[in-house]
Amino acid sequence: MVEFYTVKRIDNSRLKRRRANGFLRACGRELALAGVVAAVVMGYAWQRYEAVQLSYKYEQLDQKKSQAAELNRELKLELATLRSPGRIDVLAQDQLGMMVPQPTQIIPAQAHAAGEMADAGMSANPASFR
């Protein structure tokens, strides 16, 4: 059997391609929707990032607060130690050579009148002590 092939020429130059009505409008809508979704996702991611950064900063500040409280406690303890009367007595006796006064060396302050103080070369006016 013998087969024959024929060539048929088709002229499509007169045909016009039909565009789908609203295709560009639908693409624009989908693109706008994708932009809105992307903006929402980026906003959420930014919020999470900021929350994590703030939690790190909070932890650092909390740690500094704990360190400051510990230092404050140590300084208060040191201040109480430095102000202790027993320590002051030891320093006065050892470094300054002071002694506890004997009962005969103590003179009550009420026994002196204002005139006696003036006779001793002291003024009763506190402004003159400066």
Residue 7 pLDDT greater than 60, yes or no: yes
Render pLDDT for 85-115 as a digit per residue (tens, 0 to 9). 999 998 898 998 898 888 888 888 875 555 5
Amino acid type, 101? P
Tell me which of 22-26, 27-31, 78-82 is least confident: 22-26
Name the pTM for this structure.
Answer: 0.48
In this prediction, residue 111 carries a pLDDT of 54
Residue 33 pLDDT greater than 90, yes or no: yes
pLDDT band (50, 70, 90) for residue 81: very high
Pairwise pLDDT comparison (81 vs 122), residue with the higher score: 81
